[in-house]
């Protein structure tokens, strides 16, 4: 069995979904500063995606567990 929508074994599907739900990496801010971009926007993106990922990762974990039975 697995996740029917993705046609994958249970653990690869869970890893892919949780990886996609992860927040933006701090590297985004470092590269933005290095390239002379909008550091404030990059910092805000890192902050908000980290904050929101706590909710989305938990939600995806619940959905994955429900789909796997």
pLDDT digits (tens, 9 = 90+) for 6-53: 566 667 777 877 777 777 788 888 899 999 999 999 999 989 988 998
pLDDT given at position 9? 66
Give the CA dihedral 36, 37, 39, 44, nearest 10 degrees: -160
4 falls in which pLDDT band (50, 70, 90)?
Answer: low
Longest CA pairwise span in the chain (Å): 49
pTM above 0.95, yes or no: no
Query: How far is Cα 42 from Cα 50, in angstroms, rounded to an integer?
Result: 12
Q: What number of CA atoms fall less than 13 Å from residue 66's CA on the CB side? A: 6
pLDDT at residue 5 in the model = 61
């Amino acid at each position: 069995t697995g996740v029917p929508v993705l046609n994958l074994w249970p653990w690869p599907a869970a890893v892919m979904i949780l990886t996609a739900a992860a927040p933006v990496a701090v590297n985004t801010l470092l590269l933005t500063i290095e390239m002379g971009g909008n550091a404030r926007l990059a910092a805000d993106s890192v902050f908000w995606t980290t904050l929101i990922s706590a909710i989305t990762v938990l939600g995806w974990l619940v959905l994955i567990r429900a789909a796997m039975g």
